[in-house]
Amino acid sequence: MPGLEKLSPRESGIFIAQNSKDVFIREEAIQEFVSNLYEALEGGEVLKNEDHETFLFKKLSEKDSLNYILFLDAVNFCFWSPPDEPHWTVTYKGVPYSGYFALTAAVARAFDDGVVLFDPAVYANLTFDQLDKLLKGDQGVSAPLTKERLECLLEVGATLLDKFGGSFENCVSLAKGNAKALLEIIIENFPCFDDSCDFLGKRVSFHKRAQILVGDTWGFYKSQGIAKFDDIDSLTMFADYRVPQVLVALGILEYSEGLMNALKKNQLLKPGCEYEIEIRGCAIRAVDLIVQALRKYMAEGDRNYHPECNDMAIDYHLWWYRRAHEEKLESIPFHKVRTIYY
């Protein structure tokens, strides 16, 4: 809506947390968590490099690797299925994968069959039937929201070919070593990455997939060359379904009785509803506060200081924590929204 003040993800987190009616941040729980987090950090459990099952990097050139990252993040959303629908898994080389990893497995499978699915000249011209077949999971189960994934790919592919010579590397070069600039290039040129909505008279933003794309680019280059982003700390956590679930389990986020009851009933939330906005915004703010508390804790006493431990690193840690403790967290409901943004 024209005229509304537009807030960055970090500003949005602050504003939403200040006005939230159903999601609350328990700062005392943050203090309790930080000492355990520091021990995990010292033990190499926070900043460790994960394999992520992105199978193709060793086979690809730099240009193709960046196009691969763009492709994955363009369709990196909504992998959960309703209880009455079969779960999407993709078995690759004898190993079954789910969620985001099912996506990377499907792309690797296609690559082995001679289809370079992450080439914009390929995915800009895909039909629904072609994409559905390429992403098809075990027992013939289709990927969730295949139609919406196709729409994102057609948009991203056409723009990449028309404006950037078919190479995401050209987008990165235009940012000139600035993470915020790359984020703006992505959002302005690829509308399917513009993860924002109206809330209490302001335009709040989360930009989950766009920020992951910036972070993945930075990580791929190991913060060198054209992706040596001195402002990488400007990124917030990536507001999704699962990290808020972990924050609730840790007691850092607390939901109102009404919200918790809705989630326990598996109520499907509407995109842009207050429940969803408050969960995502408060998650961003909570991780920001965790990082602030951790840095203060590290600066006190005779402790090692890890300046590279930022919101993005804590997000990854919490996301992997959820996967490692999946059964333990099963009793904590997560919010469910059918959306392309996360």
Assigned domain for 107 exists? yes
pLDDT score recorded for residue 63? 92
Residue 3 has pLDDT above 80, yes or no: no
Assigned domain for 73 exists? yes
Q: How many CB atoms lie within 10 A of CB 182?
A: 26
Annotated catalytic residue, options 216, 240, 311, 315: 240
Assigned domain for 149 exists? yes
Domain count, the chain: 1
Assigned domain for 342 exists? no
Average per-residue pLDDT for the chain: 95
Question: What pLDDT digit, counting tens, does each position of 176-189 carry?
Answer: 999 999 999 999 99
Domain span including residue 135: 5-337
pLDDT score recorded for residue 82? 84
**Cα gap 268→271, rounded to integer Å:** 9
Q: H helices within the chain, ranges in order?
A: 9-19, 27-42, 62-74, 99-112, 120-123, 128-135, 146-163, 168-175, 179-189, 208-220, 242-249, 257-264, 274-299, 311-324
Q: What is the mean pLDDT of residues 215-220?
A: 94
Question: C-alpha distances in angstroms, 263 versus 64, 258, 303, 328?
Answer: 41, 9, 40, 17
Assigned domain for 229 exists? yes
State which amino acid sits at residue 245: Q
Catalytic residue at 311? Answer: no
Residue 204 per-residue DSSP state:
E
Burial 144-160 (b: 16+ CB within 10 A, else e): bbbebbbebbbbbbebb
The residues near 51 (Cβ < 8 Å, ≥ 6 apart) are: none
Residue 26 has pLDDT above 90, yes or no: yes
**Cα gap 102→299, rounded to integer Å:** 41
The confidence band for 28, taking pLDDT boundaries of 50, 70 and 90, is very high
The confidence band for 49, taking pLDDT boundaries of 50, 70 and 90, is low
Query: Pick from 176, 166, 68: which is nearest to 124 by CA?
Result: 166
Dihedral (Cα; 167, 221, 179, 12), 10-degree rounding: 100
Instruction: Report percent pLDDT > 70 for the chain.
Output: 98
Question: What pLDDT digit, counting tens, does each position of 70-117 carry?
Answer: 999 999 999 998 888 899 999 999 999 999 999 999 999 999 999 999
Instruction: Report percent pLDDT > 90 for the chain.
Output: 89
**Residue 176 half-sphere exposure toward CB, CA atoms < 13 A:** 0
Question: What pLDDT digit, counting tens, does each position of 81-94 carry?
Answer: 888 889 999 999 99
Pairing of strands 253-255, 23-25: antiparallel
Residue 1 has pLDDT above 50, yes or no: no
**Length of the chain, please?**
342
Residue 227 has pLDDT above 80, yes or no: yes
Q: Of 75-79, 81-85, 198-202, 219-223, where does mean pLDDT reach its minimum?
A: 81-85
The confidence band for 44, taking pLDDT boundaries of 50, 70 and 90, is confident
User: Tokens 């280059």, residue?
Assistant: 221
